[in-house]
């Protein structure tokens, strides 16, 4: 059984392997709950709609605001990655992205022009674990583009974990649970960076996520050589890699680290993968493939 | 070196637990939450310039859109597509795609020896790649919205 919906400006496909004993209605209800995770995370974390929880709380400047776990958790994760990389990955990149043209809601056409201080970093965001509040030291735009989708995939996967096999695929970032219809681990193709509708390799996973950051989709329409991954320190798009895929137990982790490795470039990216004992497949601009972590 | 990734695995699992602990994701309240947390207000846009974007206030008595589910069709590089757009109180609450499927045939796999291709490609129905956008669905969504438009 398979259902496809649009969320977070991408195509989210959920498929489950049905046993003969599973009722169709029950399966469909579960799939709907899984999609509900995407709806909630999007409504909480989107910087593309003025009535999302994120955009609402970012308008409050003077005091800490209580936020829902759908926003708190991915934001906390993003801040941890920012600390790890000393700000080379930084969720306060939102205003820069807005200015570079990544500012339009994919369904409503709403264009965002948000207030922001000129110079902001992740240190301007204060999360209070005890009270579950957010406090901004300066006006800024938070971009959770590298974590929110992963988090939604993880929540959706959690709703589907009782099925013998399922895949939650959000536009190429996915979690594959259990086994496929033939009882084998799921075979996942890796998109070829230059040839649409072709794959460059195949991996097998079960109860794991694979997320890919690449420079070949969402290129900047106005600025040549730029794409949707931007280094906050240089304002430039890194181009050491054309594609970074990370395999991890959780999609939020694979999502965040694929973006981070893309940002760090070849040498420091590899160092991070080794230190973290991550698994992944990385493609250079000449299409040479580096495999790491024994895949 | 100690397994550094333990920390991140733990962060991810506590993140999921955090949502459930707060009771935000329980069966009982699900139905009402679907309605209360829809997408952003619909703005009609002509794709030409920013100034043409009109934001709607959801508390306006006269609604711009009818309520319900409306279909629209379009074509993109992957073939014919149909979308079902659900609107409640002038907000898009759901966009479901039907008649849409990506297909990777054996010929699509390159960079692998032939034998491997034969073994592996038959069941590749999922592909990991840079997140593709929903641009290809815009026309179909617009068509559905125009059907929902109140006269």
User: B33 and B66 in one domain?
Assistant: no
User: Which residue from A135, A175, A128 is spatially nearest to A153, judged by alpha carbons?
Assistant: A175
Sequence-separated (6 or more) residues with CB below 8 Å from residue A251 = A149, A150, A151, A153, A154, A157, A168, A173, A174, A175, A209, A211
User: B96 and B65 in one domain?
Assistant: yes
A47-65: per-residue pLDDT in tens? 999 999 999 999 998 899 9
Q: What is the pLDDT of residue B52?
A: 40
Q: Is residue A124 pLDDT above 80, yes or no?
A: yes
Nearest CA in chain B to A147: B12
Say yes or no: A140 contacts chain B, CB-CB below 8 A.
Answer: no
Q: pLDDT per position in chain B (151 positions), as tens?
A: 445 678 999 999 999 999 999 887 765 444 444 444 455 555 544 444 344 444 555 555 688 899 999 999 887 666 678 899 999 998 999 999 986 554 444 344 444 444 444 444 555 889 999 887 888 888 899 999 999 998 7
CA A149 to chain CA centroid, nearest Å: 4
Nearest Cβ partner for B11 among A9, A37, A77: A77
Q: What is the pLDDT of residue B81?
A: 82
User: B16 and B60 in one domain?
Assistant: no
User: B54 and B123 in one domain?
Assistant: yes
Q: Is residue A113 pLDDT above 60, yes or no?
A: yes
Nearest Cβ partner for B24 among A10, A70, A275: A70
Inter-chain contact A107–B112, Cβ cutoff 8 Å? no
User: Token pair 């597509």 is at which residue?
Assistant: B81
Q: How many CB atoms lie within 10 A of CB B58?
A: 14
Instruction: List CB contacts (< 8 A) between B135 and chain A.
Output: 106
User: B61 and B8 in one domain?
Assistant: no
User: B82 and B12 in one domain?
Assistant: no
Contact between A23 and B147 under an 8 Å Cβ cutoff? The reply is no
CA–CA gap between residue A286 and residue B101 (Å, rounded)? 30
CA A70 to chain CA centroid, nearest Å: 14
What angle is formed at CA A117 by the lines to CA A40 and CA A120, rounded to 5 degrees? Answer: 75
Q: Is residue A287 pLDDT above 90, yes or no?
A: yes
Q: What is the pLDDT of residue A116?
A: 94
Q: What is the pLDDT of residue B40?
A: 55
Nearest Cβ partner for A276 among B4, B27, B116: B4
Inter-chain contact B25–A40, Cβ cutoff 8 Å? yes
Between residues 30 and 59 of chain B, which touch chain A (CB distance below 8 Å)? 30, 33-34, 37-45, 47, 50, 53, 55
User: B77 and B131 in one domain?
Assistant: yes
User: B101 and B63 in one domain?
Assistant: yes
Q: What pTM value is reported for the model?
A: 0.87
User: ipTM higher than 0.90?
Assistant: yes
Instruction: List CB contacts (< 8 A) between B24 and chain A.
Output: 40, 68-70
3-state secondary structure chain A: CEEEEEECCEEEEEEECCCCCCCHHHHHHHHHHHHHHHHHHHHHHCCCCCCCHHHHHCCCCCCCEECCHHHHHHHHHHHHHHHHCCCCCCHHHHHHHHHCCCCECCCCCCECCCCCCCCCCHHHEEEECCCCEEEECCCCCCCCCCCHHHHHHHHHHHHCCCCCEEEEEECCEEEEEECCCCCCCEEEEEECCCCCCCEEEEEEECCEEEEEEECCCCECCCCCCCECCCCCCCCCCCCCEEEEEEEECCHHHHHHHHHHHHHHHHHHHHHHHHHHCCEEEEEECCCCEEEECCC
User: B27 and B56 in one domain?
Assistant: no
User: B53 and B3 in one domain?
Assistant: no
Instruction: List CB contacts (< 8 A) between B11 and chain A.
Output: 76-77, 80, 253
Number of domains observed in the structure of chain B: 2
User: B33 and B46 in one domain?
Assistant: no
A86 in the Ramachandran plot: left (φ > 0), alpha (ψ -120 to 50) or beta?
left
Contact between A126 and A15 under an 8 Å Cβ cutoff? The reply is no
Domain of residue B19 covers 1-37
User: B83 and B33 in one domain?
Assistant: no
A76-92: per-residue pLDDT in tens? 999 999 999 999 999 99
Helix (H, G, I), strand (E, B) or coil at B51: helix
Sequence-separated (6 or more) residues with CB below 8 Å from residue B103 = none
């Amino acid at each position: 059984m398979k259902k496809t919906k649009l969320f977070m400006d991408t195509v989210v496909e959920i498929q489950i392997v049905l046993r003969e004993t599973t009722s169709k209605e029950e399966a469909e209800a579960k799939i709907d709950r899984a999609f509900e995770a995407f709806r909630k995370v999007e409504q909480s974390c989107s910087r593309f709609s003025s009535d999302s929880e994120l955009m609402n709380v970012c308008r409050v400047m003077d005091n800490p605001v209580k936020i829902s776990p759908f926003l708190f958790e991915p934001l906390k994760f993003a801040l941890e990655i920012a600390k790890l990389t000393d700000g080379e990955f930084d969720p306060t990149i939102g205003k820069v992205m807005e200015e570079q043209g990544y500012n339009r809601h994919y369904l409503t056409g709403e264009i965002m022009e948000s207030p922001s201080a000129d110079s902001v970093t992740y240190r301007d965001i204060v999360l209070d674990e005890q009270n579950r509040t957010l406090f901004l030291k300066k006006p800024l735009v938070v971009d959770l583009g590298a974590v929110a989708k992963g988090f939604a995939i993880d929540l959706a996967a959690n709703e589907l974990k009782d099925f013998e096999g399922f895949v939650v695929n959000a536009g190429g970032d996915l979690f594959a649970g259990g086994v496929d219809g033939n009882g084998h681990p799921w075979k996942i193709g890796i998109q070829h960076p230059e040839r649409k509708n072709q794959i460059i390799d195949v991996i097998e996973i079960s109860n794991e996520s694979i997320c890919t950051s690449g420079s070949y989709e969402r290129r900047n329409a106005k600025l040549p050589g730029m794409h949707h991954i931007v280094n906050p320190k240089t304002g430039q798009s890194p181009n050491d890699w054309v594609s970074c895929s990370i395999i991890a137990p959780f999609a939020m982790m694979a999502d965040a680290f694929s973006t981070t490795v893309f940002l760090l470039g070849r040498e420091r990216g590899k160092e991070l993968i080794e230190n973290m004992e991550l698994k992944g497949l990385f493609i250079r601009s000449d299409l040479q493939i580096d495999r790491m972590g024994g895949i | 070196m100690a397994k550094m990734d333990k920390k991140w695995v733990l962060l991810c699992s506590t993140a999921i637990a955090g949502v459930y602990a707060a009771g935000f994701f329980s069966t009982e309240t699900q139905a009402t939450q679907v309605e209360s947390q829809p997408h952003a207000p619909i703005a009609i846009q002509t794709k030409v310039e920013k100034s043409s974007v009109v934001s709607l206030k959801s508390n306006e008595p006269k609604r711009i859109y009818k309520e319900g589910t409306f279909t629209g069709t379009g074509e993109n590089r992957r073939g014919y597509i149909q979308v079902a757009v659900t609107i409640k109180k002038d907000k898009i609450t759901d966009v479901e795609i039907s008649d849409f499927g990506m297909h990777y045939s054996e010929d699509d796999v390159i960079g692998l020896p032939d034998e491997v291709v034969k073994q592996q490609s038959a069941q590749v129905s999922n592909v990991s790649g840079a997140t593709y956008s929903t641009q290809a669905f815009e026309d179909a969504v617009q068509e559905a919205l125009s059907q929902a438009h109140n006269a």
